[in-house]
Amino acid sequence: MTGPAYPPMNAPGSNAIGNFAIGQSSTGTLPDFDWWRTILSQYANSENIISIIEDFFESVDQTRNLDEFFDLMWNVYTAEGYGLYCWGIIVGVNPVLALGTGGQFFGFDEGGTLDYTPFNVAPFYSGQKLTENYILNDDGFRVLILAKAFSNICDGSIPAINHLLTLLFGSSGKCYCTDEGDMTMTYTFEFNPNPVQLAILTQSGVMPTPTGVSYTIVQP
């Protein structure tokens, strides 16, 4: 069995850029440019000419820069540091999260179980709650970027939100979203989410929330 026949790279109507055939050629590490191919054979034994060309090539060669740009900036799956920060700006998410460090306060059922508790359990709100900034590492921020990219194009349905929850927190345990049918929704965790996970859920803006719909977080 033979594969489909493709037109030559430079044939009229061929879908190619130079020697790169779109949809056919492999992508990845760029091959080093062979500067020896630029030298005529009669000058191959000239030490001075060879030295000048070699030094010039080492000074202007952009192969490594282009390779690193692709790996550290362009490809979100391998990007690091500043590259991920740029991706965060593109999709609209920040690696810095504010973690609440204060205690719980007196509240009511609609406040959920994260910050509010009933009578004789916690004091009234003091008017000030301490927070501290937490910067996600590259791996955590990459997951958040991919989740926000999906959130930007998803339809906001319960299946889509559950897919997001699995993407973000599935490695920690089972979690899901349910529609209560009265303009409210519930995020249910069958494990105790840590402060970073709660900050991602409530502050990062990655979770799509239908207009006018409030949510409650339930945890063990």
Residue 172 falls inside a structural domain: yes
pLDDT at 82 over 70: yes
The domain total for the chain is: 1
Residue 129 falls inside a structural domain: yes
Residue 109 falls inside a structural domain: yes
Q: Are 137 and 145 in contact (CB under 8 A)?
A: no
Residue 139 falls inside a structural domain: yes
pTM of model > 0.75: no
Question: Is 44 or 114 the better-scoring residue by pLDDT?
Answer: 44
Q: What is the pLDDT of residue 167?
A: 84
Q: What is the pLDDT of residue 117?
A: 59
pLDDT-derived band at 199 (thresholds 50, 70, 90) equals confident
Q: Are 156 and 210 in contact (CB under 8 A)?
A: yes
Q: What is the pLDDT of residue 5?
A: 42
Percent of the chain's residues with pLDDT above 90 = 4
Residues 6+ apart with CB under 8 A from 194: none
Q: What is the pLDDT of residue 87?
A: 93
Residue 1 falls inside a structural domain: no
pLDDT at 6 over 50: no
Q: What is the pLDDT of residue 119?
A: 57
pLDDT-derived band at 131 (thresholds 50, 70, 90) equals low
Answer positive or negative: Cα dihedral of 24, 26, 30, 36: negative
pLDDT at 50 over 50: yes
Distances (CA, A) of 75 to 43, 69, 86, 148: 41, 9, 11, 16
pLDDT at 86 over 90: yes
Percent of the chain's residues with pLDDT above 70 = 70
Q: How far apart are CA 140 and CA 143, in angstroms?
A: 5
| Helical (H) or strand (E) element with 209 | none
Question: Is 48 or 6 the better-scoring residue by pLDDT?
Answer: 48
Question: Is 130 or 174 the better-scoring residue by pLDDT?
Answer: 174
> 139: burial class by Cβ within 10 Å (0-12, 13-18, 19+)?
exposed
Q: How far apart are CA 78 and CA 149, in angstroms?
A: 16
For residue 189, the enclosing domain spans 82-218
Q: How far apart are CA 55 and CA 35, in angstroms?
A: 11
Residue among 174, 100, 88, 91 nearest 136 (CA): 88
Q: What is the pLDDT of residue 217?
A: 86
Look over the chain and give the mean of its residue pLDDT values, rounded to a whole number.
Answer: 75
3-class DSSP assignment, residue 204:
coil
Residue 214 falls inside a structural domain: yes
The residue behind tokens 């998410």 is: 93
Residue 13 falls inside a structural domain: no
Residue 123 falls inside a structural domain: yes
| Tokens linked to 7 | 């037109």
